[in-house]
Every structure is written in structure tokens, then in C-alpha cells.
Chains A and B, each alone.
Chain A
Amino acid sequence: MTDFKEIWSYLSGEPLLWLTATLAAYAIGDAAYRASGNRPWVNPVLVAVLLLSATLALTATPYEAYFEGAQFVHFMLGPATVALAAPLFANLARVRRSALAMAAALLAGSATAIGSALAIARALGVDGASLLSLAPKSATAPVAMGISESLGGSPTLTAVMVIFTGITGAVIATPLLNALRIRDWRARGFATGTAAHGIGTARAFQVNETAGVFSGVAMGLNAILTAILAPLAVRLFF
């Protein structure tokens, strides 16, 4: 019989193990979400991330080795973003009708996301590259990283902030919007996509298709607006 060490050294060199682990962790997260009666803080992404992080730490597996397997899942983000065109097309008339409300909400939401993050962090003593990296955190990761670099921030730090922002938005959106008594699915989705990009959009689709569509539109538009507003806001703060 082959000993466990040999099997482990085979598995840890192959993408299969961590690809399977990623799907299994998500399946557990999804099951936990349902079992909790769809409580927003039992977010499947959050549960899966915590499970996998603990597993990586326990097995002393570096992130790079994990990503060898997980990259197949990560790759699908691109095609999924393109696929947003299908529900968007199906709802195009409704999206067009809300153009004015969307433009106002986008401007207000994006400016609030950038401005309040900079103001709060600076008030708490954050400065320099860390503060600069914070400015584009509500934009989708590849755009935010590019903006951060051009502002003199750290793209790696920004990536961490972007993902953290997304998970935060996905967890708080439902209770927050309920507390504000906002029932319009368009407004709920659009605000979530503006503040919390793709992860917020994934959450919005989980709740309601209309919310998902408007969230996806907001994510795309805020990627562009953040590229314009973040440099302006930084000039105001530095």
C-alpha cells in the first residue's frame, strides 16, 4: 500500500485537489445558507473562503499552490461577466426607462463610496499608499487595481480591499435596504452593484433577477466612473 505522504505529494502537485476543495467548500457554504433560512450573513462566499483559508493554513499550503487548482473557477469570472448581457437584454426596456434614476444613483453612490472611505480612513490615521489604495475599492478588481497603480497606491492592497468591500456589501445589503424600507428591486440592485461590484451583483442575483440585472449594469458603469472620480477625490484629499 502506498503511504499517505506519497499520495499527498501527488495530490498537492495536481490542480484536481484544490479545484474539488473549492467546489466542495462552496457547496457547504450554499447548504449552510439554505439551512440558516437564507440569512445574509451566512454568505456562501464568506463560508467557503473561511473554510478554505483554514484548510490551507492547517495543511501549510501556499496560496500559489491552491490557485493552481482554483484558477479554473476564477477564469469563469470573465465569461460570466459577458453572459450578463443576456439578462440585461431581456430587461433592456426597463433599464432604459430608469436611465435618469440610474445616472443620479451612480454619481451619488460612487462619490460616497470613494469620498467616505478616504475621509473615514484619514480620520482614523491612515495615510500614504494605504490611503491611496483605498480610493477605487468599490470598482471591480481589475479596474480598481489599474486605478490604484496610476494613483501611486498598491494594486495588491487594493485587490484585498476590493474583495473585502464586495463581501461586506453582499452581507449587509439586504438588512440595510430592509431597514431603509426600500422595496424597489431596481434601486436595491443598482446601489449594491455600485458599492460592491461583482460580489454584490452575485448576491443580488441570488435574491432577485431584476436586482441582479440592475446591479450588473451599475458594476459596469461604476468601473468607468471610478476611473474618473478616484483621481479627482485623491487630489481633494492630498
Chain B
Amino acid sequence: MILHVTAILGFQLLGEVLTRGLALPVPGPVMGMVLMLAFFVLRPTAAETMRPTAQGLLAHLSLLFVPAGVGVVGHARALGEDGPAIVAALVLSTALAIAVGALVFVAVARLTGDSDD
């Protein structure tokens, strides 16, 4: 358990150092995820032993966004007079992006004969 948490934090640290050092447009934790994935490819047994710890961390992923969410409500006034227009643009564009992304995925998967099973 301690070893697994240390490994996860270690990959995040490595990711932060790499992205900052090379000025990459990726957050450190995302780079850390890529590095840990590469490590799992090299050592598949490690993935199996780390799985429970990872699942524990991910089980309540939603909870981790609560502090940032509370910050948004506090800063909602920063939207200013444009607030309603911005909210409308955000809601509509999010719906459009989800719809377009999913429809394109399904269409291309069908074209390439790629079905999930």
C-alpha cells in the first residue's frame, strides 16, 4: 500500500519535473499517467498489484472536484454582465461537443468495422 502510493506520487513528481523542464503543454499528472502506463507495459505484473490502490483512488473521483467547484461559485461574479451569455455558450457548446464527438466516434467505428466486445 505505502509502496503503491509512493509509486503514484513518484510518477506524478516525475511528470511535473518533465513537463516543466521541457515546457510541455500537458499537466504534470497527465504526463505522470503516461509514464506509469509505460511502466505497466514494461512490467505487467506491477499493474495487477497496483490495481486495488488505483481503484480506491478513482472510486470517488468526483469528490476531488468539490473544492474547485466551490471556488467557481465564489468567483461567479467575475463573469460580469456577460454572465448569462457565457453560461448559455458553455451549456450549448458542451452539449454540441458531446453529441458531435459521440456521433463521429460511432460513425468511424462502424466504417472501420471496429465493434467493441
Contact = CB atoms under 8 A, between A and B. Distances in A.
Contacts of A159: 68, 71-72, 75
B86 A23 contact: no
Given A71-B67, A113-B94, A182-B102, A126 B86 contact: yes
Contact of A202 (B9, B61, B72, B78): B61
Contacts, number: 330
A110 to B, nearest CB: 8
A125 B67 CA distance: 31
A199 B25 CA distance: 20
A contact residues, range: 35 or more
A227 interface: yes
The CB with the most chain B CB atoms within 10 A, among A30, A70, A113, A218, is that of A113
A132 interface: no
B17 interface: no
A71 B37 CA distance: 27
B25 A224 contact: yes
Interface of B: 5, 8-9, 11-12, 15, 25-30, 32-34, 36-37, 40-41, 44, 47, 50-51, 53-55, 57-58, 60-76, 78-80, 82, 85-109, 112, 114, 116
10 contacts: A56-B74, A78-B29, A90-B51, A137-B93, A140-B27, A172-B95, A176-B98, A186-B105, A202-B64, A227-B25
